[in-house]
Amino acid sequence: MIVVTTPTGQIGRQVLDRLLDAPDGAPGLRVIARDPARLSPRVREHVEVVPGSHADPAVLKEACAGAGRLFWLVPPTPSADSVEGHFHAFTEPLREVIAHQSIERVVAVSTLGRSVARNAGQISASLAMDEAIAATGVHYRALCPPFLMENLLGQTEPIRTAGVFSLAAAGDRVLRTCATRDIAATAARLLLDGSWTGQDDVPLVGPDDLTPEGMARVVSEVLDRPVRFQPVSSAEYRATLLRRGASEGWAQGAADMVDALREQGFYGAGQPSTPETAPTGFRQWCADVLLLAVMAPGSEG
C-alpha cells in the first residue's frame, strides 16, 4: 500500500496521477485529503480516501495502517504562526507512525541546501524535517529541487497585463530551476520501487543556466511579447506576504529564505544540473505550461 499526502496539491496531484498510470499497476493507493470533494472522479473510484490533515496524528495513523510506502510533503501555510512550528507539527506525528506502524520507505519533497543553508527560513525548516525523519531509521529519499518553475504561475496576471514578473533575486545571477513534473516523476518511480534502502538526497536540478533576466528573455520569446524581470528586496517580499495575509512569522521566514539564497548561493550556478532526475528545460516548461496559463484570461496559478 502506498499513501500519498497533498493529493490535490501541485505536486501530490501529479504523483498520484503517475501512480495511477503505472503500466504494471501500482500497489493499493490511499490518500489523505483535507477536502475529498476536490479529488477527481477517477481518483475517488480507484483510491482509498482518508479525510483530514496529515498533521493530525489520528488521521495519519489511520491512513498509514498496513501501508509500507509514503509520499510526504508539508504544505505551505502562510497563516502559520511559526515556520519551524509548522514543520514540527507535521513531522512529529510522522515520526510516531514510523516508530509504531508498518511504513518502511518515505519519499519526501525537500530542498537543495543541506550543509550549506543557514538561517534560511522555510528552507532550514525543511532540512530539519529531513534530519528528524532520517533519525527514525526509515528508508528515506529527500527530493531536493531548487526554485520551482511553477512559482511563476502566481504571476500570470502581471505577465499578461504588464509584461513583468518579480522575484526576490538578483537579475544577473544564475537561478537553478526545476519543474514540478520532474519531482512527481521521480517520486512515483521511487514509490513504485520497493527495493531501495538507506537514506539519501535526490537533487532535481534542471538543465538551464539562466539568470532571472535570462528567464525573462525566454518568456518573451515563448509568449511572443516583451516580458521583463523586476527584482524586489527581501523587505518588499515580506511586506507583500503580510498584505496577502501571511503571519509575521511566515513572512519573516520567507524574507530570511531569500536573503540566504542570495548570500549563500545554494540555488546558484555552483549546483550541477541532474538531467536524469530533472530533464525539463525552462523553455519547454514555458511552452507547455506558462503559455497556456497566460492565454487563459482571469486565471492564476
pLDDT of residue 156: 95
Sort 265 into a burial class: Cβ within 10 Å, 0-12 / 13-18 / 19+: middle
Q: What is the pLDDT of residue 25?
A: 67
pLDDT of the residue at 26 = 66
Q: Give the per-residue pLDDT at 268.
A: 95
Residue 147 φ then ψ, to 5°: -65, 130
Helix 83-100 and helix 248-264, axial crossing angle in degrees, nearest 10: 90
pLDDT at 299 over 80: no
pLDDT exceeds cutoff 50 at 301: no
Most confident region among 10-14, 25-29, 116-120 by mean pLDDT: 10-14
DSSP H or E segment with residue 134: helix 122-134
With 70 as the cut, is the pLDDT of residue 89 above it? yes
H/E stretch holding 106: strand 105-109
Question: For the chain, what are the domain ranges?
Answer: 2-144+180-203
Name the amino acid, one letter, at 121.
Answer: G
pLDDT of residue 248: 97
| 23 has a pLDDT exceeding 90 | no
Higher pLDDT, 296 or 272: 272
Inter-residue long-range contacts of 16-20, CB under 8 Å, 24+ positions, other chains counted: 16/43, 16/47, 17/184, 18/184, 18/185, 18/187, 18/188, 19/188, 19/191, 19/192, 20/46, 20/47
**Side chain identity at residue 282, one-letter code:** F
40-66: pLDDT as tens digits: 999 999 999 999 999 999 999 999 999
pLDDT per residue over 264-283, tens digit each? 999 999 999 999 999 999 99
**pLDDT digits over 150-199, tens only?**
999 999 999 999 999 999 999 999 999 999 999 999 999 999 999 999 99
- In whole angstroms, what is the distance from residue 95 CA to residue 129 CA? 10
What average pLDDT does the chain have? 95
Q: Is 40 helix (H, G, I), strand (E, B) or coil?
A: coil
| Residues 6 or more apart whose Cβ sits within 8 Å of residue 25 | none
Q: Report phi then psi at 253, rounded to 5.
A: -60, -40
Question: Helix crossing, 122-134 with 83-100: angle to 10°?
Answer: 20
Does residue 300 surpass a pLDDT of 80? Answer: no
Residues 8, 139: Cα–Cα separation, whole Å: 25
2-144+180-203 under CATH 3.40.50.720, yes or no: yes
Mean pLDDT for the stretch of residues 144-148? 98
Torsion of CA 105, 111, 114, 118, to 10 degrees: -140
pLDDT at residue 18 is higher than 50: yes
- Over 90: is that where the pLDDT of 298 sits? no
User: Which cell numbers in the block locate residue 13?
Assistant: 496531484
What confidence score (pLDDT) does residue 262 get? 93
Residue percentage of the chain with pLDDT more than 90: 93
Region 14-34: mean pLDDT is 90
Enter the pTM of the model: 0.95
